[in-house]
Structure 1
């Protein structure tokens, strides 16, 4: 007389969000390099730098930086994404990355990458490889004023 009900606590198939169904299946690699000069000045090792590409439908894709400063973000979908580089002691500007795919209407070859600063889109970045440069040293603490007995 109908399907038997699933026993209490049984697992059901997970529903997939609609955005996953609409997402592209083509994936591309983004080759990049972190400027080593700023890392040396701030005494930061390349293993302490974190590269993250945030996509709309596919979440975050992380990449490790090698000793020579290079990194590869694998399986990036086509579209516009946010790229962040994080390192204790340094500040990197956020970058907006556009990856062109086969289904794009623009006359750009699939896999072409364009990158601009997220806060200043008029500045285009080199993308062969994508070059990330720290803009400043991060100051986490303010120097305290000297307190002496006379100043009290």
Structure 2
């Protein structure tokens, strides 16, 4: 599991020798590996319960540190740049769905103002204010997959 702080900028900046609108910081909260020693463990194994508790505490600590960082940035921003808008958005992980914005299938996460994919480069950040209409095809209660086409207000945008 990864905690991500992603900045989608209005104007691009130079990083190295490339222009980019996306800057991302992340911290790995949980180990992605699974211990294979001792075969399968019992659900009530004290070591397993303790490990899960440590992982939960670590995740909460990192999330809290990110929240403190966000609050500090907002306080400084509002003090120095009151006329410019800065907004932090948290994705709704419960509403995530798989999509293919570029080459591979990745989780797409809706937020209050955007539809984002932040796990693979190039990142996808689609502002809901830029969308004219979304067309859904092959949608059904018994179907797992559907097609989604986004029509932007600016027809030149891809």
- Shorter chain as denominator, the TM-score bin is under 0.3
Question: Normalized per residue, which structure has more helix?
Answer: 2
Higher RCO (C-alpha under 8 Å, 6+ residues apart): 1
Between structure 1 and structure 2, the one with the greater Rg is: 1
Q: Normalising by structure 1, what TM-score?
A: 0.22
